[in-house]
Amino acid sequence: MSVRTNIEFSTIGQENQVTMITSAEPDAGKSIMSSNLAVVSAQQGKKTLLIDLDLRKPTQHRVFFNSNERGVTSVLLHPDHKSMAIQDTEVERLHVLTSGPIPPNPTEILNTQALVDLINGLRADYDQIILDAPPVLVASDARLIARLADGIVFIIKSGASEYKKIAKSIELLQKTQTKILGAVLNKPSAQPGKMYYTYGDK
């Protein structure tokens, strides 16, 4: 995949073990891009972990037909559940850590030291970690997740994203001081209502 190759060229000589994928608004295809990048990474021989940190509208358990009974939220409550929560996929060397049960307070959970410790601990176990983060403008979550990553890939929906919203999102992400590796102009297949976000926390 050219996106994966471009990321590698943009990070020559720099650490980029943990990559966050996000967008300005919903329905830009950021979750599919996250899963695709994770698959390509695994196919390149890297032990890869895809983590669904969209704790409001998680999707990766559906993409890979995994259970979401245990995931990030349950591991944060019970760290000894980590080995049970990380699941295999049909792709060799690719594992997924789903969101787990949706919490009533996603922003508070994403702002905990426990999450920082979890991601740092997983760095020792995987060559590449992909973080599927919520859109930037629908909640403050993405900005909190950015501090966990070495780099950010920003997804733009072709023909639908407004320049002002993209510029605002980039401005907010730059304030996290995490490097933005680049933007991907994406044209996902439109399925009205499938990925509709109703976030109110900004």
Compute the average pLDDT of residues 165-189: 89
Range with the largest mean pLDDT of 49-63, 159-173, 177-191: 49-63
Q: For residue 11, which amino acid is it?
A: T
pLDDT of 3 above 60: no
pTM above 0.75, yes or no: yes
- The pLDDT value given to residue 163: 87
Query: What phi and psi values does residue 144 have, to the nearest 5 degrees?
Result: -70, -40
Residue 50 pairs in a beta bridge with 96, 130
- Give, as one character, the DSSP assignment of residue 2: H
The maximal CA–CA distance of the chain, rounded, in angstroms, is 45
- The pLDDT value given to residue 159: 73
Rounded to an integer, what distance in angstroms lies between the CA atom of residue 107 and that of residue 114?
13
Range with the largest mean pLDDT of 128-132, 161-165, 182-186: 128-132
Q: What is the pLDDT of residues 107-119, one digit of tens each?
A: 999 999 999 999 9
Rg (CA), the chain: 15
Domains of the chain: 2-186 (3.40.50.300)
pLDDT of 32 above 60: yes
Which among 20, 38, 32 has a CA at the least distance from the CA of 180? 20
Residue 173 pairs in a beta bridge with none
Q: Which region among 101-105, 162-166, 192-196 has the lowest average model confidence (pLDDT)? A: 192-196
Q: What is the pLDDT of residues 90-109, one digit of tens each?
A: 999 999 999 999 999 999 99
Give the model's confidence band at 202: pLDDT under 50 very low, under 70 low, under 90 confident, else very high: very low
Q: Give the rounded percent of residues in the chain with a pLDDT score beyond 90.
A: 75
